[in-house]
């Protein structure tokens, strides 16, 4: 059996699930956000190994029957409705999260892309930028800081050509509307309000000229590379995530073999079976590594290109599986 951990509105799961069911493989899709509200987990230590039982509203899953776990977009544990607002909500959620982390670490199965603790570690930009450099990628000179004085020094060092980007893309509410901090070219106007940097660290890097941006998706030893022609619109010049569906043209990119190999080795070295690399191809033909997302989105690439990433994910999950009972 394959156990999928993700929210029920996950487009990525909906792309892969039919391919698994076509193979006659038993699959169960569960969102950890339902724990402990409407799910029960019992763990028993016997002979030095843990055995876990997950009971939901429509199934009972024995960890011994699960050969692969796919971590996609699981929500955090949430308390039952009767607990929420009664003063215990934070306590129940915190304990639920702690127990889920132990459950995942002691759950004997193949994990895709990796267990949650490994995903959190490799998501950290300090970790994956250093890994990119170790594997021979050109990585921009990077400063991570909340010291306002660093902005003036970076302005001098780059002659006013540098960008600021988030340490992690975390949406936030402002006056009732959701916002996020995208990659931004730093101007003299930003320097006048540099005291605000003290409140939250950012990543500072020299501005790299772009011919195109690349999203390189690694699944096991397979590599799928999409070009994003972000420079055609001022809306996406700094960060292709701004309105990419409306303003960006996509194409399949033929990645050189040595770059392809380094992408596979980099992802594997971090203990991952999957990873999305963001890379700039400069006008001079140099590949410049920006970051690795260990559980990045890829469904939109299938919408705009012929890349069949969902097939590769299904192949990885199904490897070694025997056809079994398929849920109705």
Per-residue pLDDT of the chain in tens (328 residues, 90 and over written 9): 999 999 999 999 999 999 999 999 999 999 999 999 999 999 999 888 999 999 999 999 999 999 999 999 999 998 887 776 656 788 888 898 999 999 989 999 999 999 988 999 999 999 999 999 999 999 999 999 999 999 888 988 998 889 888 887 766 667 777 666 778 888 888 787 788 888 889 999 999 999 999 999 999 999 999 998 765 555 555 555 555 455 578 899 999 999 999 999 999 999 999 999 999 999 999 999 999 999 999 998 998 899 999 999 999 999 977 665 444 3
Find the length of the chain: 328
Q: What residues contact residue 36 under an 8 Å CB cut-off, 6+ apart?
A: 77, 79, 80, 92, 96
Q: What residues contact residue 251 under an 8 Å CB cut-off, 6+ apart?
A: 226, 227, 229, 305
Q: How does DSSP assign 58-105, residue by residue?
A: S-EEEGGG--EEEESSPPPPB--TTTTTTT-HHHHHHHHHHHHHHHHH
Question: What was the pLDDT predicted at 197?
Answer: 84
pLDDT, tens only, 128-154: 999 999 999 999 999 999 999 998 889
DSSP-assigned letter for residue 189: H
Domains of the chain: 2-112 (no CATH), 141-206 (3.30.1490), 209-307 (3.30.470.20)
CA 143 – CA 154 distance, rounded (Å): 9
Question: What was the pLDDT predicted at 193?
Answer: 79
* Residue whose entry in the numeric block shows the structure tokens 């069949």: 308
Work out the burial of residue 288: count CB atoms within 10 Å of its CB; fewer than 13 is exposed, 13-18 middle, 19 or more buried. Answer: buried
DSSP-assigned letter for residue 30: E
CA 12 – CA 310 distance, rounded (Å): 8
Tokens representing 67 are: 């050969």
Question: What was the pLDDT predicted at 327?
Answer: 41
CA 123 – CA 169 distance, rounded (Å): 11
Tokens representing 70 are: 């796919």
């Amino acid at each position: 059996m394959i156990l999928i951990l993700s929210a029920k509105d996950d487009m990525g799961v909906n792309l892969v699930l039919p391919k698994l069911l076509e193979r006659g493989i038993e699959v169960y899709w569960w969102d950890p956000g339902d724990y402990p509200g409407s799910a029960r987990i019992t763990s028993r230590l016997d002979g030095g190994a843990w055995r876990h039982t997950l009971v939901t509203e429509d199934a009972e899953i024995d960890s011994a029957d699960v050969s692969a776990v796919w971590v996609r977009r699981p929500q955090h544990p949430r308390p039952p409705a009767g607990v929420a607002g009664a003063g215990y909500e934070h306590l129940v959620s915190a304990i639920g999260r702690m127990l889920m982390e132990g459950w995942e670490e002691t759950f004997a199965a193949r994990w895709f892309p990796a267990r949650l603790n490994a995903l959190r570690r490799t998501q950290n930009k300090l970790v994956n930028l250093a890994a990119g450099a170790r594997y021979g990628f050109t990585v921009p000179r990077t400063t991570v800081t909340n010291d306002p004085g660093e902005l003036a020094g970076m302005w001098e060092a780059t002659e006013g050509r540098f960008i600021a980007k988030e340490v992690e893309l975390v949406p936030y509410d402002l006056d009732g509307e959701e916002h996020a901090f995208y990659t931004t070219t730093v101007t003299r106007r930003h320097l006048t309000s540099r005291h605000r940097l003290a409140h939250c660290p950012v990543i500072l890097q020299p501005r790299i000229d772009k011919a195109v941006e690349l999203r390189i998706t690694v699944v096991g030893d397979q590599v799928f590379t999409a070009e994003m022609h972000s420079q055609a619109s001022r809306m996406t010049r700094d960060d292709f995530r701004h309105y990419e569906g409306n303003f960006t043209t996509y194409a399949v990119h033929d990645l050189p073999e040595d770059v392809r190999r380094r992408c596979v080795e980099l992802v594997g070295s971090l203990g991952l079976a999957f990873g999305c690399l963001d890379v700039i191809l400069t006008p001079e033909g140099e590949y410049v590594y920006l970051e690795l997302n260990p559980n990045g989105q890829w469904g939109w690439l299938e919408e705009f290109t012929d890349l069949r990433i969902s097939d590769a994910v299904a192949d990885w999950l199904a490897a070694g599986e025997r056809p079994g009972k398929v849920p109705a």
